[in-house]
Amino acid sequence: MYISFSHKNLNFELENINSTRKTLLPKSEIDLNILSYNLFLYSKEDIYFGYWEEEKRAELLGKSKFTKNQDVIVLSRVFDTNARNTLLDNLNLEYPDQTDVIGKTKYGWDQTLGDFRQQINNGGVVILSKWPIQEKIQYIFKNHGCGNDTFYNKGFAYVKIKKGSQIIHIVGTDTQSEDSTCSDLGVNARINQLTEIKKFIDSKRISNKEIVLIAGALNVDKSNQSEYKNMLNILEVNEPNYAGIPFTWDTKKTRLLLIIISITPGTRPQITGNIYSFPKITFNFRFGRI
């Protein structure tokens, strides 16, 4: 999911450049290409998901065409250390500024906020940038979720980057997943985590002349209108216009989980952007095309 916060006088155009790219084009000067991808690279120690050729998939993903020519890449669920290192090493030449994975260590971050727990699995979110990262903060959700998610330091990575003269703020996250072992499938935990994201953004007091993006897996199914609208209300954003294919997840019938919208911080203006969602194109014999 993408959410873009911008000054009300800064107009955006979104172009479908190809099947892997999301492009934000303020008419003034900045051309920003953002790629967000849920890689599902679980550690081998995870008894449910840790046996799906993580290292091989990481190697193939690092060589994939759609990872090229971006400005920023937000990766989620890159839990496995070996697979993550393989992928990041392959992408390092084009994206030299990289955060560590959230929830692993406090070292290397400007700040660690929220409720960081020792001796628990990392949170799986990494941000890579072609441009200098001027500030990086990891925030571990105070609400640790339910079900399998409780075994991970889930939260978000925040970075401030500068491309040309433009400052861009990016939050990359992976909120509570839908989980049948949770009493409400994880809805309440996800609501609390979205609230934590909103409070953090408000606390930064970012100028309304600067762009703010929320990217990653927010795990809200657009077809569930009650939860979807509640998410928009919590984050104080309006619903965007949609374009492109209507699916982003699931190997058979996918659900829309990625959006791009543009708002002014502290207000509820009209939307100026569109969403473009694309098929996942990494081949794996267990999944088919994912």
Alpha-carbon distances, residue 135 vs 90, 200, 269 (angstroms): 23, 14, 28
Tally Cβ neighbours within 10 Å of residue 128: 25
Distance CA 78, CA 122 (A): 9
Predicted TM-score (pTM) of this structure: 0.80
Alpha-carbon distances, residue 2 vs 82, 85, 213 (angstroms): 28, 25, 6
245 pLDDT tier (thresholds 50, 70, 90):
low
Distance CA 91, CA 117 (A): 29
Distance CA 2, CA 30 (A): 17
Find the mean pLDDT for residues 105-116: 98
Is the predicted pLDDT of residue 61 greater than 80, yes or no? yes
- Please give the span between the terminal C-alpha atoms of the chain, in angstroms, as a whole number: 17
Distance CA 277, CA 257 (A): 9
> Which pLDDT score, from 0 to 100, does residue 179 have?
94
Distance CA 131, CA 150 (A): 34
Tally Cβ neighbours within 10 Å of residue 203: 9
209 pLDDT tier (thresholds 50, 70, 90):
confident
135: left (phi over 0), alpha (psi -120 to 50) or beta: beta
Place of tokens 């929830």: 103
**Exposed / middle / buried, residue 223 (Cβ in 10 Å: 0-12, 13-18, 19+):** exposed
**Exposed / middle / buried, residue 230 (Cβ in 10 Å: 0-12, 13-18, 19+):** middle
What CATH architecture is 3-289? 4-Layer Sandwich (3.60)
If DSSP codes are grouped into helix, strand and coil, which group holds residue 151?
Answer: helix
Condensed to tens digits (0 to 9), the pLDDT of residues 134-174 reads 999 999 999 999 999 999 999 999 999 999 999 999 999 99
Least confident range of 71-80, 154-163, 235-244: 235-244
Helix (H) or strand (E) holding 25: strand 22-26
Distance CA 138, CA 106 (A): 8
The alpha-helical segments, DSSP class H, found in the chain are: 54-62, 81-91, 187-204, 225-235
> Which pLDDT score, from 0 to 100, does residue 44 have?
79
Picking from 108, 86, 112, the residue whose alpha carbon sits closest to that of residue 97 is 108
User: Where do the domains of the chain lie?
Assistant: 3-289
Distance CA 224, CA 201 (A): 25
Distance CA 215, CA 90 (A): 22
29 pLDDT tier (thresholds 50, 70, 90):
low
> Which pLDDT score, from 0 to 100, does residue 272 have?
33
Distance CA 246, CA 34 (A): 19
Q: Which residues contact 223 (CB under 8 A, 6 or more apart)?
A: 255, 256
> Which pLDDT score, from 0 to 100, does residue 17 have?
33
52 pLDDT tier (thresholds 50, 70, 90):
confident
